[in-house]
Amino acid sequence: MSSHTNENLTKITVPSIRTAKELGEKLVCLTAYDYPTARVVDEAGIELILVGDSAGNVVFGYENTIPVSMDEMLFAVKMARRGVKRALLIADMPYGSYHINPDETVRNALRFIKEGGAEAVKLEGGRNRLETIKRLVNEEIPVMGHLGLTPQSVNKLGGYRLQGKTQETAQTLIDDAKALEDAGVFSIVLEMVPRELAQLVTESVKVSTVGIGAGTDCDIQVLVLHDLLGLNFNEKQARFVRKYATLRETMTGAIQNWANDVKTGNYPNDNESFAMPNNVKIRGA
């Protein structure tokens, strides 16, 4: 696919995402954390771009998403914004940015919208986040919910494991999804839940579900871009990751080839250097 494929396509908005669900159209979402990758993803025709707090793992080098700060996320959102023309740009609210009180939550979300240029925010949690979500929606800030495996809860969950495996936890997730819909979210991420449960949730709510490790029946699929491109350092990939490229190996090979050319005198060659004009004569010391 050539670049600039998005130029003649309609801008993606929150209402158009709902329309896509009503029409049964599948959409796609990828992460991006800077200008060049956001531009590439946008020009590839991806409908939603999430500046995820997964940046903590794949960009900042943290062990998990917990340490990611508002300043780091806002910096990433600003960079991504400059590369996006068509996709809906969503900012992930980092751990601690929406946990203290509604006023601080709104203040942080407004920074993503006003300073960062995001068009929506995402936050994790079920019924414990209802008042926060209602407040954000009331302030005209579109909200994407997130249920199932919530990475910011890794300390409570004890690791990254499949969620909703029992009758009780599955029912809780269904009830949470309906409550989030009532609170006004425009979509709900379902992460690492059984495909049957994800299908049931998708059929039970009118808002779009965004699946990651949740089977094929969700309205939207999302992946971390670095996982899709093989540009990560994970010894073990998550079960739901399909690697479509191996950019880490490609980059390593290119860098080593360049270094070898430098050391053997093959770079730069005459065509990659600049000659002194013929009418200029220089003398050595």
Catalytic residue positions, numbered: 191
Query: Do the Cβ atoms of 130 and 179 come closer than 8 Å?
Result: yes
Strands 143-148 and 120-122: parallel
Select from 235, 213, 233 the least CA-distant residue to 222: 213
3-state SS class at 4: coil
Inter-helix orientation angle 102-114/130-138, to 10°: 50
Select from 13, 40, 65, 11 the least CA-distant residue to 208: 13
What backbone torsions phi and psi does residue 269 show, to the nearest 5 degrees? -90, -175
Both tokens assigned to 33: 């954390």
Q: Determine how many CB atoms are found less than 10 A away from the CB of residue 263.
A: 9
Q: How far apart are CA 211 and CA 191, in angstroms?
A: 6
